[in-house]
Amino acid sequence: MSNTDKKEQTSTHKIGIYLWIWGLLFVLSFFSYMVDWYQFQGMLRWSLILFFMFLKAGLIMAFFMHLFWERYALVNVLLWPMTAIACFIFLMVAEFKYTLFTRLFYFFVGG
């Protein structure tokens, strides 16, 4: 029995870390709301939105979803496919620019 007790002890984390992450998520959400509240525009707005978004996503995945404590075999299987999404975004950015160009060209210039 004492053996299983020991094993369970390793599989939980102190409550403090969860409360810290929880608090941080609140603060970061508040900051990202403030980006809209103060109506920042342009590059500043976009970079702040992305910065807070990735920070929040990272905290949720690392600590709430325990990825920080998982072995690399699982972490890598989950994170590497994200590069495929990055490629897809890259392709579609090129695509929407081309679509916009052709629309403007044929709608307004008339071909």
Partner 1 sequence: MSEPKIEGIELKPGFKGMAEDTGSDQTMFKGVHWGKAMMWIFLLSDTFIFSCFLIAYMKGRGSTPVEWPNPSEVFALDAFGVPVPLLLIAIMTFVLITSSGTMALAVKYGYEKNRKMCGWLVLATAIGGLTFVGMQAFEWSKLIHEGVRPWENPFGAAQFGSFFFMITGFHGTHVSIGVIFLFIYAYKVFAGHYDQQKRGWFTSMKGDYVEIEILGLYWHFVDLVWVFIFAFFYLW
Provide the 3-class DSSP secondary structure of residue 92. Answer: helix
Question: Which DSSP state fits 46?
Answer: H
Which residues neighbour 56 within 8 Å (Cβ) at sequence distance 6 or greater?
Answer: 25, 28, 29, 32
Contact residues toward partner 1 (CB under 8 A) are: 7-8, 10-13, 15, 18-19, 21-22, 25-26, 29, 32-33, 35-37, 39, 45-46, 49-50, 52-53, 56-57, 60-61, 63-66, 69-74, 76-78, 81-82, 85, 88-89, 92-93, 95-97, 99-100, 103-104, 107-108
DSSP 65: S
- Please state the closest distance from residue 111 (CB atom) to partner 1, in A: 15
CB of 89 to partner 1, least distance (A): 6
